[in-house]
Amino acid sequence: MAERILLVEDDRRVRRATALALIDEGYEVVEAEDGSSGLRLLADRRPDLAILDVMLPDIDGFEVCREIRKRNDLPIIFLTAKTDTVDVVVGLESGADDYLTKPFAPKELIARVRALLRRFRSEPRPVRIQLGDVEVDPDGGVVRKGGRPISLTKTEFNLLRCLGERPNQVFSRESLLERVWGYDYLGDSRLVDVHVRRLRAKIETDPANPTVILTVRGLGYKASNEP
Amino acid sequence: MRSPLAFFRSRSIQLRITLAFVASGFLLAVILSVATFFTVRSFLENQRVKSSTRQTIFGVLFAREFIKQDKSNTEGVVSLLQTRGGFDAMIVQGSQYLATSLSLTPDAVPASLHDLVSRERIGYQFTKLGRTRELAFGAPLPPANTNLYLFYSLADIDKTMSVLLRALIVAGFAVVLISAALAQRVGGRILRPLHEVSAAAQRVAEGLLETRVQAVSTDEVGVLAASFNQMAQAFQEMLERERRFVANVSHELRTPLSTLRTASELLEAHRAEFPPSSREAVDLIADDVANLQRLVEELMEVSEVDAGKAIIRWEEVELRALARAVVRKLRRETPVDGPLVVTMSDKARLERIVANLVHNAFEHGGGTDVRVTVGEENGTCQVVVSDGGPGIPPDALSHLFDRFFKADRSRTREHGGIGLGLAIAFENARLLGGTIEAQSPRGGPTTFTVVLPRRSEPPEEKP
């Protein structure tokens, strides 16, 4: 069955062209021209991935993104104008997994869509990871902190897994981009920084003084299994 | 023929003011000196004539009395007069004469004085005895054909005058020097605002459009400063309008172009399903839409840099890995060599610089022997992109980073380039605190060297 993509974009021509490119790749596309109809279609059509334009006539893309995250763990890509660099961080903070700056080459969008869907579809090998009071259940997906289950997005989970499988090994931002997002060097290292921040907010006792995911200045990040 | 003045007129105003001041100072000093000199001298000489006349009258009376009593003892007269001092005396009797000084002879008596005395009159005249000026008095004595001459030396007056002359020359020099200094000051004060305007114009020409001059006075120079400011303001506004126009047009083109790009790529993906002639049409559309989109993006970037709105995102970058990733993204097999070089920079901007240079090497450098080398030395790091190509003519080399410059007018259109790529690469290097140098020995391979400061911390924000 074809995977279903929700495309929220207010400019009809851009939306149609993007939809055509995705349909041509074999995806089923659900189109919405504003935030509220996007959210309605999310509930009705249960898409596997969402592509959101930031500039929408009613609710802005970030708000839509936060709303989707409250209800669902599906991969989200947002589209932003190149000049608004602040948008990138705000968008990632709102819970998006990836972003593209307009104008983008359709091939680029399709590559990202494919990478994200593949990651979200694949069932992780069962591993048991114990980092302080944070543990990842071997049966997949469930993360507990002090015994209480906490909910992570797929990307956050993959990031924790990648770091946690080899505690104390330092991963550069580039290698995390490659392992977690499937990008080569040219990915944006802010993806890593923002996701680490979001992950810390969920698993650290005091996110301002992390003890599980540590920053190694000038090099990258590592997970610590010291209690 | 050019007059000598024309030479100075063509030089600096400062020089002309100084020359005018010095010339008037000099003239004034000369006039004052000459007037002083001759006034003082004639005053001193008059004094001397008065006192000498008195002495002479006494001397003549004395001599006449003496001769009346002791007839014809002229010798006695001379020796007695000698004791009085203050003058040299001489009695001439026919061809004989007696004098109190060896250097005194009848030849020393000026002819006109001699004539006067011959006509039985008393008189005086300025003359010279040897090297010294003298005041000569003459008077007839009772024996026939006997005349008395008295010579008063003017050496002391002349000495005074020479001291005075020296003092006047020194004062004259001082006047000239003071005029020169004054001219410098006055000239400087008049010209400083002019220099400021000229320096400001220079800065505007260099691209610092917000340069203004402080208009302090309301005189002609102040008016000039105000006009200059108006002109600079108008110029800046005009450029800003133009920049905004380009930005707006580009922005408006962006959305339809991205639709076109998406649609044309879709058609391209299905090119095999079209008949051959349509296939070529699809290729043409896809190529030129991509070119057009690149042009619009480049225009947007240029106008962003021009508006000073470019944001630099400092982060740690490893140059060799970055260059390799760029080459891979361009789907080239270009070798990338050099050591690991880590610096603080803007990854996206560096990527665009390297991508532009590599792209350029393939499009214009013949595409053979393209290689990228990274390195570091003396606190800088470099990315060198070289090709084996035909080289760049020397006259084109200096314009390489100009906007819309094309070294090879006939061919570039074919490559889709519009001549903004290198200009943007250069602007980006400048934003990162570095520069790009191009070297192309005649007919040889071309080398582009990006030189960037090697930083371990982001630079301080400029206020």
- Of B391, B357, B351, B381, which Cα lies nearest the Cα of B371? B357
CB B193 within 8 A of CB B217: yes
DSSP code at position A151 = -
Is some CB atom of chain A closer than 8 A to the CB atom of B252? no
As beta bridge partners, residue B170 has none
Chain A residue with CA closest to B264: the answer is A17
Render pLDDT for B255-271 as a digit per residue (tens, 0 to 9).
888 899 999 988 988 88
As beta bridge partners, residue A7 has A31, A51
Q: Which of B214-218, B345-349, B364-368 has the highest mean pLDDT?
A: B345-349
DSSP code at position B249 = H
**A4-121 and A129-223 in the same fold:** no
Of B305 and A126, the one with more pLDDT: B305
Residue with tokens 């043409």: B284
The per-residue pLDDT for B64 is 84
Nearest to B313 among A14, A17, A85 (CB): A85
Amino acid (one-letter) located at A45: R
Residue B256: asked if its preceding bond is cis (omega within 30°), the reply is no
Average pLDDT, chain B: 84
Q: Is the pLDDT of residue B93 over 90?
A: no
Q: What is the pTM assigned to this prediction?
A: 0.62
CB A220 within 8 A of CB A170: yes
Nearest to B266 among A20, A104, A218 (CB): A20
CB A96 within 8 A of CB A75: no
Other Cβ atoms within 10 Å of B150 Cβ, number: 25
CATH class of segment(s) B220-305? mainly alpha
Render pLDDT for A183-204 as a digit per residue (tens, 0 to 9).
765 677 788 888 999 899 888 8
Give dist(CA B407, CA B394) in Å, integer.
10
Chain B residue with CA closest to A217: the answer is B316
Burial class (CB in 10 A: 0-12, 13-18, 19+), B59: buried
CATH class of segment(s) A129-223? mainly alpha
The per-residue pLDDT for B1 is 47
CB B176 within 8 A of CB B29: yes
Render pLDDT for B371-413 as a digit per residue (tens, 0 to 9).
999 998 888 999 999 888 777 887 788 788 888 776 655 544 4
CA distance A128 to chain B (A): 33
CA A125 remoteness from chain centre: 20
Total residues belonging to chain B: 463
Q: What is the DSSP string of A190-218?
A: HHHHHHHHHHHHHH-SSTTS-SSEEEETT
Chain A residue with CA closest to B342: the answer is A218
Give dist(CA B2, CA B6) in Å, integer.
6
- In chain B, residues 327-366 whose CB comes closer than 8 Å to chain A: 328-329, 347, 351
CB contact under 8 A, A103 and B300: no
Chain B residue numbers touching A13 (CB-CB < 8 A): 255-256, 259
Tokens found for residue A29 = 């596309």
- Of A1, A76, A173, A18, which Cα lies nearest the Cα of A9? A18
CA A56 remoteness from chain centre: 21
Q: Is the pLDDT of residue B329 over 90?
A: no
In this structure, which topology does domain A4-121 adopt according to CATH? Answer: Rossmann fold (3.40.50)
Q: Is the pLDDT of residue B8 over 70?
A: no
As beta bridge partners, residue A145 has A134, A148
The mean pLDDT value for B207-212 works out to 82
The per-residue pLDDT for A4 is 94
Total residues belonging to chain A: 227
As beta bridge partners, residue A213 has A223
Q: What is the DSSP string of A162-186?
A: HHHHSTT--B-HHHHIIIII---TT
Please, which pLDDT band fits residue B363 given cuts at 50, 70 and 90?
confident
CB contact under 8 A, A21 and B266: yes
3-state secondary structure of B369: coil
The per-residue pLDDT for B384 is 93
Tokens found for residue B42 = 């004639």
CB B66 within 8 A of CB B77: yes
- Of B191, B269, B207, which Cα lies nearest the Cα of B239? B207
Of A132 and A6, the one with more pLDDT: A6
The per-residue pLDDT for B440 is 84
3-state secondary structure of B376: strand
As beta bridge partners, residue B436 has B450
Which of B251, B255, B259 is the mutation pick for testing A, counting most A CBs within 10 A?
Answer: B259
- Of B367, B366, B384, which Cα lies nearest the Cα of B375? B384
Domain boundaries, chain B: 4-162, 220-305, 313-453
Burial class (CB in 10 A: 0-12, 13-18, 19+), A8: buried
The mean pLDDT value for B8-16 works out to 69
Is some CB atom of chain B closer than 8 A to the CB atom of A215? no
Other Cβ atoms within 10 Å of B219 Cβ, number: 11
End-to-end C-alpha distance for chain B, whole angstroms: 57
- Mapping DSSP onto H, E and C, the string for B375-442 reads EEECCEEEEEEECCCCCCCHHHHCCCCCCCCCCCHHHHHHHCCCCCHHHHHHHHHHHCCCEEEEECCC
The mean pLDDT value for B14-43 works out to 91
Give dist(CA B85, CA B75) in Å, integer.
16
Which of A85, A185, A194 is the mutation pick for testing B, counting most B CBs within 10 A?
Answer: A185
Is some CB atom of chain A closer than 8 A to the CB atom of B322? yes
**Number of H-type helices and E-type strands within chain A:** 8, 11
Strand locations in B216-370 (E): 315-318, 336-337, 342-345
Which of A83, A107, A175 is the mutation pick for testing B, counting most B CBs within 10 A?
Answer: A83
Residue with tokens 């948008």: A87
In this structure, which topology does domain B313-453 adopt according to CATH? Answer: Heat Shock Protein 90 (3.30.565)
The per-residue pLDDT for B6 is 60
The sign one gets for the Cα dihedral B439, B441, B443, B447 is negative
Give dist(CA B372, CA B383) in Å, integer.
7
The mean pLDDT value for A120-144 works out to 75
- Of B445, B423, B427, which Cα lies nearest the Cα of B364? B445
Q: Is the pLDDT of residue B7 over 80?
A: no
CB A135 within 8 A of CB A123: no
Is some CB atom of chain B closer than 8 A to the CB atom of A189? yes
The per-residue pLDDT for B18 is 87
Structural element, H or E, at residue B68: helix B13-69
Give dist(CA B308, CA B49) in Å, integer.
90
The mean pLDDT value for B236-255 works out to 86
Render pLDDT for B103-137 as a digit per residue (tens, 0 to 9).
788 888 888 888 888 888 889 999 888 888 889 99
Render pLDDT for B74-83 as a digit per residue (tens, 0 to 9).
777 777 777 7
Residue with tokens 């020097």: B177
Give dist(CA B459, CA B436) in Å, integer.
20
The per-residue pLDDT for A155 is 86
- Mapping DSSP onto H, E and C, the string for A41-68 reads HHHHHCCCEEEEECCCCCCCHHHHHHHH
Is some CB atom of chain A closer than 8 A to the CB atom of B271? no
The per-residue pLDDT for A123 is 66
CB contact under 8 A, B325 and A184: yes
Of A30 and B100, the one with more pLDDT: A30
Is some CB atom of chain B closer than 8 A to the CB atom of A103? yes
Percent of chain A with pLDDT over 70: 93
CB contact under 8 A, B259 and A24: no
The per-residue pLDDT for A166 is 86
Other Cβ atoms within 10 Å of A178 Cβ, number: 16
The mean pLDDT value for B361-367 works out to 77
Give dist(CA B219, CA A106) in Å, integer.
65
The per-residue pLDDT for B411 is 47
Side-chain-side CA neighbours of residue A227 (13 Å): 2
The mean pLDDT value for B408-437 works out to 75
- Of A203, A216, A207, A133, which Cα lies nearest the Cα of A173? A216
3-state secondary structure of B366: coil
Please, which pLDDT band fits residue A83 given cuts at 50, 70 and 90?
low
Measured CA to CA in angstroms, residue A225 lies from A163, A200, B203 at distances of 11, 15, 60
Domain boundaries, chain A: 4-121, 129-223
CATH of domain B4-162: 3.30.450.20
